[in-house]
Amino acid sequence: MGTDQFQRARSPQAKLQRELAILEAARRLATENSVREVTLTEIAAVVGMHKSAMLRYFETREEIFLRIAGTEWRDWSDEVCSRLSATEGADGSWIAELLVTTLLERPMFCDLLVQAPLNLEKNVSLDSVRQFKLRAIAANRSVAVELQRVAGLDLSAAVDVVTVATSMAGALWQMAEPGPRLREFYRSDPQLSHAIVEVAPRLRRTIEALVAGFPSTEPRWSADD
């Protein structure tokens, strides 16, 4: 739909549909590129709106992506909790594989895990920050509660595992995705080869070591049991 066809949403339902269209457009653009490269103008063009009209629905582009980040947190948490709830016990290796796999199959989420505290939270209202933080904290805690049950960790240790896993996934993903120009540059110089990060094995080793290092509140589960 072109910008000349845009009509302002009048009813609450129409407003919701417009917001969902904006969020979907932002998702599509961020999937094709990266969150930091997507502009409000580009989102408006996909939706078929003038940029100024979009401000009736979202205060800034950062609010759009912060809303998406909250949804990504919830969706990741729901999947991990579902898989953990079907498990009676797990060791560090199994937990690491689960967390790494579910995080890295969501590249936009990994991108948002870094962009949220660095950029997105700094250009929105405090109410928007509060809503996002509460959603992220709730998602984090839900996974931690399931980890506490299956791994025999106390809750604070389980929270630390989730926090480290998500934080490192975001940071390592950024390092591993420097863009085609820099990636080719790093590959061309043997002295810079260390700059090419293999996310999965590094994150897997870290999580496994972290789980193993925490004291267990009950006997450790083993795959041989």
Domain ranges of the chain: 1-58, 61-225
Q: Return the pLDDT at 194.
A: 67
> Does the pLDDT at position 6 exceed 70?
no
The band of 189, judged by pLDDT with boundaries at 50, 70 and 90, is confident
* Token pair 């390092």 in the structure block, residue: 175
What's the pLDDT at 13? 85
Q: How far apart are the C-alpha atoms of 74 and 155, rounded to whole Å?
A: 19
Q: Which residues of 18-53 are buried (b: 16+ CB within 10 A; e: fewer)?
A: bbebbbebbbebbeeebbeebebebbbbbbebeeeb
pLDDT value for 85: 92
Q: How far apart are the C-alpha atoms of 197 and 202, rounded to whole Å?
A: 8
Give 152 or 178, the one with higher predicted confidence: 152
In this prediction, residue 225 has a pLDDT band, given cuts at 50, 70 and 90, of: very low
Average pLDDT over residues 194-200: 77
Cα 7 from Cα 30, distance rounded (Å): 25
Predicted pLDDT of residue 215: 82
User: Is residue 182's pLDDT more than 80?
Assistant: no
Higher-pLDDT residue of 100 and 198 is 100
CATH fold of 1-58 reads Arc Repressor Mutant, subunit A (1.10.10)
* Average model confidence (pLDDT) across the chain: 87
Higher pLDDT, 26 or 177: 26
- The 3-state DSSP class for residue 33 equals coil
Inter-axis angle of helices 126-151 and 92-104, to 10 degrees?
150
In percent, the amount of the chain with pLDDT more than 90 equals 67
Contact 166, 77 (CB under 8 A): no
pLDDT above 70 covers what percent of the chain?
Answer: 86
User: Is domain 61-225 annotated with CATH 3.40.50.2000?
Assistant: no
Higher-confidence residue: 4 or 17? Answer: 17
What is the mean predicted confidence (pLDDT) over 170-184? 76
